Amino acid sequence: MMLAGVLSRNGLRGAAQLLNNDLGRSRVARLCGVSSPEPIVTKETAPQPTSPPSTSTPLPNSPVKKQGGKTPLTVALYNFWKEKIGTVQLDANVFGTPVRKDILQQVVRWQLAKKQQGTHKTKKRGEVSGGGRKPWAQKGTGRARAGSIRPPHFRGGGVAHGPVPRSHEYKLNKKVKRLGLKCALSAKASEDRLLVVDSLKMEDGKTKNLHERLSALLGGTPRTSVLMIDTGKEADDGGALVRQAGGNISGVEILPVEGLNVYSVLKRDTLVLTRNAVDIATERLTRPIKR
């Protein structure tokens, strides 16, 4: 009864505060007829376990992985006659990305939609020639009333809800476009359809000379469709002569590195990049995206 009185006067919180100190516990013990109450161990007063000192030995130095934790890819560096002259390292964040077909499909559809001209047009009933007068009288002929011979349900009439000139372009996020190009380059690298050359420069613009070089360069590949990338039309690693020579060969496409795109990479069987084009493409695909 006396303990119930303490609880009724102080409440549960007050009773807990009494039990948390020695004076309060002694008071409650006297009321309950207990001579020496045991101290109550709470979360704050409980002894904290101490962890033993660490006796583990440090691990040996592991090899340092560069480029965001991925080991760079090492590929052969050739000249235009496919003679090996060294090696070059490719950024694994660009040429070692897991290939996602859904991203490739999104980017290709976006490119083709943006490429579409959108000049489709049909004539409406007001644009079709003729039909200016009423074909027959409103009443008395037994036929349905008509005010023109050019409505959509008449032969030779206009088209209802036909296509009009418009743009088919739509927005695609920058990160998706960038990831799509990385996946396309990684797919070529994983299939051994990526060649890195020091230069595509030619002494003349003859198609025969370029055909001989491509035959040597693509000798080990199953097909001969090729996309060649240099740093520009007036650059030292390509230029106008190789474009003049390749303009008359079917299945050969030559682009500057600024025009590197997913659709062209996937369309051609083999991708040939100059060393400078690799550096520019890597810098383009790894710099921060401007929001």
Closest CA to 131 of 118, 147, 115: 147
- pLDDT at residue 57 in the model: 46
Burial class (CB in 10 A: 0-12, 13-18, 19+), 209: middle
- pLDDT at residue 42 in the model: 52
Predicted TM-score of the model (pTM): 0.70
Instruction: Identify any residues that bridge with 196 across adjacent strands, giving them in sequence order.
Output: 77, 273
- pLDDT at residue 35 in the model: 54
Site of tokens 């990684």: 186
Residues in the chain, pLDDT under 50: 1, 7, 54-65
- pLDDT at residue 235 in the model: 86
What is the Cα–Cα distance from 112 to 42, expressed in whole angstroms?
Answer: 70
Instruction: Identify any residues that bridge with 272 across adjacent strands, giving them in sequence order.
Output: 195, 228
The alpha-helical segments, DSSP class H, found in 157-239 are 174-190, 207-217
- pLDDT at residue 65 in the model: 47
- pLDDT at residue 43 in the model: 53
- pLDDT at residue 64 in the model: 42
Q: How many CB atoms lie within 10 A of CB 146?
A: 15
